[in-house]
């Protein structure tokens, strides 16, 4: 059955966004032209302008797609273990020390977007608005862990959410430059220290129990 015009438009838009995300992550935003995005997507540069108006419009549209990317990855890793320590090890192993190619691209794109935001007030405002929901999800999760007695109230949940996210991105960057910088256990211990965990708690194996008799720590899934 032939596709409708709306379906073709949606397909072109998705192709352009996917191409932009990959090229921005690999080469940097400033090094990528509209023509390069169009070529990678198998479309013309006119399609980019028709859908987004400009390279800046393309970038802002990409922010909508990106908003929950890192939080979605972290949420998926948190589901791999019933304990806080195990969840931190999962993040340490699968996001920081040995991420998949897709996760690595997401983190590269995140850094590119933040770097652009540092120089572009319009992008900075868009990022603040679009990333707030993802930040709030992590904040609610840490607040819940505090209430359950699973982590120490070393700082307000909002501060912990900001620090944890920045630490994940920063540690992954360090590992990319120097893969021997730290192992899974060391990275998990650092993440646990930020949350007020005893070093042994964040270094236990994924299948170990965190605190005897405690319920599985719960973080609500990010919206979108």
Q: Tell me the domains of the chain and their CATH numbers.
A: 5-65 (1.10.10.60), 69-203 (1.10.357)
Could you tell me if 202 and 85 are in contact, meaning their C-beta atoms sit under 8 angstroms apart?
yes
pTM, to two decimals: 0.74
Pick from 77-81, 107-111, 206-210: least confident? 206-210
pLDDT above 70 covers a percentage of the chain that reads: 87
Rounded CA separation 124/58 (Å): 15
Among candidate residues 175, 201, 174, 207, the one with its CA nearest the CA of residue 189: 201
pLDDT (mean) for 180-205: 81
Please state, rounded to an integer, the average pLDDT across all residues of the chain: 84
Of 6-15, 31-40, 98-107, 161-170, give the range with the top mean pLDDT.
Answer: 31-40
pLDDT (mean) for 150-169: 92
218: left (phi over 0), alpha (psi -120 to 50) or beta: beta
| Residue 215: pLDDT over 60 | no
Within 10 angstroms of residue 112's Cβ, the number of other Cβ atoms is 21
pLDDT (mean) for 187-212: 66
Reduced to 3 states, what is the DSSP secondary structure of residue 33? coil
58-73 pLDDT per residue, tens = 998 888 777 666 777 8
Per-residue CA distances from 103 to 2, 100, 174 (Å): 35, 5, 15
- Kindly report each contact of residues 71-74 with a partner whose C-beta sits within 8 Å and lies 24 or more positions away, as own/partner: 71/134, 71/135, 71/137, 71/138, 71/222, 72/222, 73/103, 73/106, 74/138, 74/168
Q: How confident is the model at residue 33 (pLDDT cuts 50, 70, 90)?
A: very high
Rounded CA separation 218/144 (Å): 7
pLDDT (mean) for 99-124: 87
| Residue 108: pLDDT over 50 | yes
Among candidate residues 105, 125, 6, the one with its CA nearest the CA of residue 56: 125
Rounded CA separation 71/138 (Å): 8
| Residue 53: pLDDT over 60 | yes
């Amino acid at each position: 059955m032939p596709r409708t015009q709306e379906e073709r438009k949606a397909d072109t838009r998705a192709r352009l966004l996917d191409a932009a995300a990959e090229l921005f992550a690999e080469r940097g935003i400033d090094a990528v032209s509209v023509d390069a995005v169009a070529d990678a997507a198998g479309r013309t540069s006119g399609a980019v302008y028709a859908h987004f108006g400009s390279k800046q419009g393309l970038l802002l549209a990409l922010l909508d797609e990106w908003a929950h990317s890192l939080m979605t990855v972290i949420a998926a890793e948190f589901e791999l273990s019933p304990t806080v320590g195990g969840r931190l090890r999962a993040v340490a192993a699968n996001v920081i020390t040995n991420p998949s190619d897709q996760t690595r691209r997401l983190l590269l794109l995140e850094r590119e977007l933040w770097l652009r935001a540092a120089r572009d007030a319009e992008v900075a405002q868009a990022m603040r608005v679009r990333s707030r929901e993802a930040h709030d999800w992590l904040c609610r999760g840490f607040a819940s862990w505090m209430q359950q007695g699973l982590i120490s109230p070393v700082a307000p949940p909002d501060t912990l959410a900001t620090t944890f996210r920045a630490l994940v991105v920063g540690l992954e960057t360090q590992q990319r430059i120097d893969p021997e910088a730290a192992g899974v256990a060391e990275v998990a211990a650092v993440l646990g220290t930020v949350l007020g965990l005893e070093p042994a708690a964040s270094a236990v194996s994924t299948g170990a129990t965190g605190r005897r008799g405690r319920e599985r720590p719960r973080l609500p899934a990010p919206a979108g």
